[in-house]
Every structure is written in structure tokens, then in C-alpha cells.
Amino acid sequence: MVIAHDRLVVVTAPGHPWARRGKPLAAEELAATPLILREEGSGTRQVLDAALGGLARPLIELSSTTAVKASAVSGAGPSVLSELAVGEELERGAWWRSP
């Protein structure tokens, strides 16, 4: 039984340089950039590590999605989060998401 579908999205505060990009980020660029991440072992982190071949570079590792969201929206750095977890912020334009 499928309960929901989700995907990971790259998000930044609107003032971040990526917010002015018109093209998607390449996996190599994402892997080379220090990110605000969930702790190792979290579902989000496991999927990101698998997608980037274990090359994700943590700027900060935090133990809750709420803490990651607060750090990213404050401008501390980009993050990769569940689209379901940040949908409201994306809809109201509080964050930028990679196309």
C-alpha cells in the first residue's frame, strides 16, 4: 500500500546565490557544496547519500527537520529536504528550490 509520494529538493534562503539560477544543479555541484543536513541514519540523509554516492558534504548535521529548516531559511547554507516538509515555505516564497 502506498501512503504518499515524496521527493528531495534543494532549498536555500531567497538571498543565496543559487536563488538566481535558471538551471538545475548538477549532482557533482551539489556533492561539492557543504550542506545543512540531517544526521546520518535519518531517512532523508540515507536517500541523499545514495543519490550522491556518499559524497554529501555536511556544513552542519542536525537531528530534526525543523532545525535544518530554520538553519537553511536563515541563510546559513543550502539544504536538501523532503518536498512534503517544506511545501508550505515553497508555496509562500520563503525559500528557493532548484528547478
**What tens digit of pLDDT does each residue of 40-84 get?**
999 999 999 999 999 999 999 999 999 999 999 889 999 999 988
Residue 3 lies in a domain: no
Determine how many CB atoms are found less than 10 A away from the CB of residue 6.
Answer: 14
Contact 37, 80 (CB under 8 A): yes
| Tally of domains in the chain | 1
On whether residue 89 sits in a domain, the answer given is yes
Average pLDDT over residues 15-40: 90
| Confidence (pTM) | 0.84
- 2 in any annotated domain: no
In a domain, 42, yes or no: yes
Band (pLDDT 50/70/90 cuts) for residue 96 is low
What pLDDT is stored for residue 41 in this prediction? 92
Residue 11: which H helix or E strand, with range?
strand 8-12
Domain extent, residue 86, equals: 8-97
DSSP, residue by residue, 44-99: HHHHHHHHTTT--EEEEEES-HHHHHHHHHTTS--EEEEHHHHHHHHHTTSSEE--
Residue 3 DSSP code: -
Q: Give a yes or no: residue 21 inside a domain.
A: yes
Q: Is residue 1 part of a domain?
A: no
The CATH number for 43's domain is: 3.40.190.10
